[in-house]
Amino acid sequence: MRSSIKIKLLLFVLSCSSLFSDSVKKQTYIQTLEAKNSISYEKIINTRAAYITPMCYTKTSDKEEAKVFNPCYSCHTKGKIPNYYNDSHLQEVYNFPKQAMKNPFTNLFKDKRKEVGVMSDSYILDYVRRSNYFTDEGDILLSQELPDTWKGYRPDCYFNFDDEGFDQNKNGAYTGWRAFRYFPFLGTFWPTNGSTDDVLIRLDTLFTQDENNTFDKEVYKLNLAIVEALVKQKEITFDFPVDERTYGVDINANGIADTSNIISPKVRSYVGLAKWYLKAEKIHLAPGLFPENTEFLHSVRYLDWDEKKDLIKLSARMKELRYAKKTTWKTYGEIQRAAQSEFWEAQALESLEARIALFRGNYEEGLRNEIGWKYQGFIEDKAGGLRPQTHEETISCMGCHSHLGATTDSTFAFARKFEGVHKDQNDHGWNHWSQKGLKGMNEPKVEYKKYGKQYEYSFYLHNNHSGNEFRNNDEVKEIFFDSNGSINESMIDALHDDISLLLFPSQRRALKLNKAYKVIVEEQSFMYGRESNVKVMENVYKEIKEGLKTDIENMIVRP
């Protein structure tokens, strides 16, 4: 008996010792990163209002030229239910909390011409072409470097895609990640403003399995198509006819068990194992929402140059690796109450004054928004490797993924996914940018209240008179506007047939933007702004005065 107690006691001591050792290793890892990069993982050094983007400090009117610019509508609009946020009033007024009235993003006002001037083109091209994600053997660096007890996302995507966009590891096994191509969001997110990127989606493992708990690629493809129809709230055409009797699901929602390649947004079930989990209410389904445990992976990269095609391409080096996971299911009612809570708080205070937003979580596991998602990320360290973002750096992700009318279940890209059905179509959506690019894509159309259907990018140019919120993209100005600021209609006509004419920068501009961002990396000054400006930005407020109006009179909102 005593021997048994001694053994149990020894095992307990060894277990505690191991946990203590792991904790020390994690602490040492973080402390080393802090020392090498002169950062703090816990402290807020610059601002807790980092969720307010630098773009929100843009001057929207020019008194001398008597012009008004509206880039604000792209984000601040009326959401499509179940997005109950309607922040379209922010097109008319700079409604910031007191703590954010002084612009904290001082990198906007930094002149980087000297630092950029000493970098050669060959140096920056060599830099962006060296991967900071993979080892020479093709293993994932972060997966090796992160402590064993790391509680957050551990990168597991190999960016090794089959012809349907599915990622495979070194042994050829599917990781669950699937790449998709999409229309880049308006303004800053266009490559001409500094970065290339890609986005991948992964559903919970149960969506990949048939009813016998066996991986089935066709089941996974069909579940992804069902999710797309639900999220977009529109019919989606599948790439081949599906016999509904095989899966026991009426995918076209016509009340008949037939064969169809149409996925209806009124579909009431997933297929395979997920169908039974849904019946047992262990997972959920609703229009406009992703199922729980949906993940997104978003790599932000430099602008590499493809000599053969004479245009940009994704760099091997990553600026950032962003990760999102839907950890909690929220009903329509819960989402509506979250959206209304800010309004109710303001009413209780008899004031419409904005209040500082706080987000629960930490740099390791991610920060959480109010509708069930958590966001976490990795960013370049001083030497160019990837490191976890600090708490403050992660706050900067939250504004765009929390309280915006423009999002779909707090995300952007998937609702903008291309919908071409067959692989040979230019707009086929299920593949990676490295497999098929953006050149030759027709311009999308979007419907706005009072304005009807409009070419999305052309409409942005007409209303903002520039290629980004800051109006400092001289290349877009030269191509799409004349010396008087009037739009070049012939270029607009060409844009309808090929959006890369607007979205892609010249090699000269691409290299300059790469160099400007490299300066920020060397300084590790991300908390002061991540924009790739070379010169001081002039169309940005350094301080917002209370009650300041944008001078925008005609709000642009979705119907």
DSSP 403-423: S-TT-BTTBSSGGGB--B-ST
pLDDT of residue 65: 82
Determine which helix (DSSP H) or strand (DSSP E) holds 354, and give its type and residue range: none
Mean pLDDT (the chain) is 94
pLDDT of residue 341: 79
pLDDT band at 19 (very low <50, low <70, confident <90, very high): low
pLDDT of residue 346: 46
For residues 513 and 508, give the distance between their C-alpha atoms in angstroms, rounded to a whole number: 9
pLDDT of residue 457: 98
pLDDT of residue 403: 85
pLDDT at 10 over 70: no
| Token pair for 421 | 């059905």
Strands (E), 136-205: 166-168, 174-180, 196-202
Backbone angles phi, psi at 398, to 5 degrees: -80, -30
pLDDT of residue 217: 98
Do the beta carbons of residue 529 and residue 107 sit within 8 Å? yes
pLDDT at 197 over 70: yes
Region 98-103: what's the mean pLDDT? 96
223-257 pLDDT per residue, tens: 999 999 999 999 999 999 999 999 999 999 999 99
pLDDT at 16 over 80: no
pLDDT at 345 over 80: no
420 Cβ contact partners less than 8 Å away, ≥ 6 residues apart: 426, 427, 428, 429
Determine which helix (DSSP H) or strand (DSSP E) holds 394, and give its type and residue range: helix 391-398
547 Cβ contact partners less than 8 Å away, ≥ 6 residues apart: 93
Chain centroid offset of residue 13 CA: 45
pTM for this structure? Answer: 0.95
496-527 pLDDT per residue, tens: 999 999 999 999 999 999 999 999 999 999 99
pLDDT of residue 511: 98
Integer CA distances (angstroms), 15 to 5, 22, 28, 150, in order:
15, 11, 20, 18
Do the beta carbons of residue 174 and residue 166 sit within 8 Å? yes
| Token pair for 298 | 């978003």
pLDDT at 111 over 50: yes
- Residue 213 sits at the vertex; the CA angle it makes with 208 and 219, to the nearest 5 degrees, is 35
For residues 517 and 475, give the distance between their C-alpha atoms in angstroms, rounded to a whole number: 18
The domain spans of the chain are 38-195+313-559, 204-292
pLDDT of residue 350: 42
**Cβ atoms < 10 Å from Cβ of 183:** 20
- How many H helices and E strands in the chain? 14, 15
Chain centroid offset of residue 282 CA: 28
395-447 pLDDT per residue, tens: 999 999 998 999 999 999 999 999 999 999 999 999 999 999 999 999 999 99
Residue type, 282: K
